[in-house]
Amino acid sequence: MEKYRAIPPGYMTVGELAKKMGATVRTLQYYDKENLLKPSAVSEGGRRLYTDKDMINLHQILSLKSLGFSLEDIRGRLISLDTPDDVATALAGQAADIEKQIRVLSETLADIRALRQEVLQMQTVDFKRYAAIITNLQMKNEQYHLIKYLDDKMLEHCSSAFDKDSAAEIIETYSRLSRQAAEYRTSGVAPGSEKGMKFAEEFWSMIEKFTGGDTSLLPKLIEVEALAEAEQAKGGGDFSSQSQTAANRFIGSSLEAYFKKRGIDPFNINSDKGEKK
């Protein structure tokens, strides 16, 4: 590292660099101590001197720091800036990191807004339900809004019977079958047809898996679905809510036909009438 009696052209002091980049002198001194950003030169009086290249390196560091990377992570991600390709690669990496962070922040913002809406509709402070809503939002469960209608027994069942993976499987199955039901309803598939029966069998199997055979949960599931439809109707009914309503119509009709054909009493599946024939 060269030493200069005076500050030569093309160099700036630590204070000047800090001011240009919106950092503090203490921060730059710390980066020097940690060998993250060393000055290109030092004056005879011991003043750290930096170049424009150092400023670009500092930009890399500050950008990565703002994205939550630790100093160790940053140290491993810094790219030398000796050629145009080096500079372009460094900028491309920063852009990719920022784009990823934007996606994360956008999703977090959407979750916060969704939770706020649920809190206002619930009109009660219930952190257990708040936590369940947040978990389902993070799992991308489109039916997260149903949680506010669950009673304590149903909420406890969901919490104790499923871990993250099994809950995700149920959610994925329900979403897939709901989309299929909406398509069948729109295309005119008869609930009692072979397609309808096959659909109902899979849907009922999913419900049995969800309830674990506890038929006392079924009335609450029906009630929750009714409350959700009422909520959607009150909201004016956008395309997604209309699609879900169509799906629910087909699901109800196909299950009714399925139970009748198989001789199943869904509320008493252990009775003689409830045994599959």
pLDDT digits (tens, 9 = 90+) for 14-67: 999 999 999 999 999 999 999 999 999 988 778 889 999 999 889 989 988 888
Question: With b meaning 16 or more CB within 10 Å and e meaning fewer, what string describes 76-115?
Answer: eeebebeeeeeeeebbebbeebeeeeeeeeeeeeebeebe
d(CA 137, CA 152): 20
- pLDDT < 70 stretches in the chain: 1-6, 126, 229, 231-242, 269-277
The pLDDT score that the predictor gives to residue 241 is 60
**Side chain identity at 85, as an amino acid letter?**
D
CATH architecture type of domain 2-66: Orthogonal Bundle (1.10)
d(CA 248, CA 270): 26
The pLDDT score that the predictor gives to residue 69 is 83
For residue 215, what is the DSSP state? G
The pLDDT score that the predictor gives to residue 263 is 86
* pTM (2 d.p.): 0.53
C-alpha distances (whole Å) from 230 to each of 42, 67, 226 are 73, 42, 6
The pLDDT score that the predictor gives to residue 15 is 93
The pLDDT score that the predictor gives to residue 155 is 83
The pLDDT score that the predictor gives to residue 271 is 41
